[in-house]
Amino acid sequence: MSGTDGETHDGTNGRVEYLRNVYDLATQADTDAYYTQWAASYDDELTRQGYQTPRRCADALRRFVASDATVLDIGCGTGLSGAALASAGLTDLVGTDVNAEMLDVARVAGIYRDTWVTDIDDPFPFARGTYNAIAAVGVIGVGAAPASLLRQSLEALAADGRLVFSYNDHALEVPEFTDALTDVISSGLAEQEFAEHGTHIEGLGSMSTVYVLRRC
Domains and CATH numbers, the chain: 8-49 (no CATH), 53-215 (3.40.50.150)
- pLDDT, tens digit only, all 216 positions of the chain: 222 223 333 433 434 465 555 555 555 665 556 555 555 556 667 778 889 999 999 999 999 999 999 999 999 999 999 999 999 999 999 999 998 988 998 999 999 999 999 988 899 999 999 999 999 999 999 888 999 999 999 999 999 999 999 999 999 999 999 999 999 999 999 999 999 999 998 988 999 999 999 999
Task: Please give the C-alpha separations between residue 87 and each of 83, 93, 119, 171, 184, in angstroms, as whole numbers.
Answer: 6, 12, 28, 27, 30
DSSP label at residue 166: E
Report which secondary-structure segment, H or E, holds 33: helix 28-38
Q: What gap in Å lies between CA 62 and CA 123, rounded to an integer?
A: 24
Single pTM value for the model: 0.84
Q: What gap in Å lies between CA 180 and CA 150, rounded to an integer?
A: 7
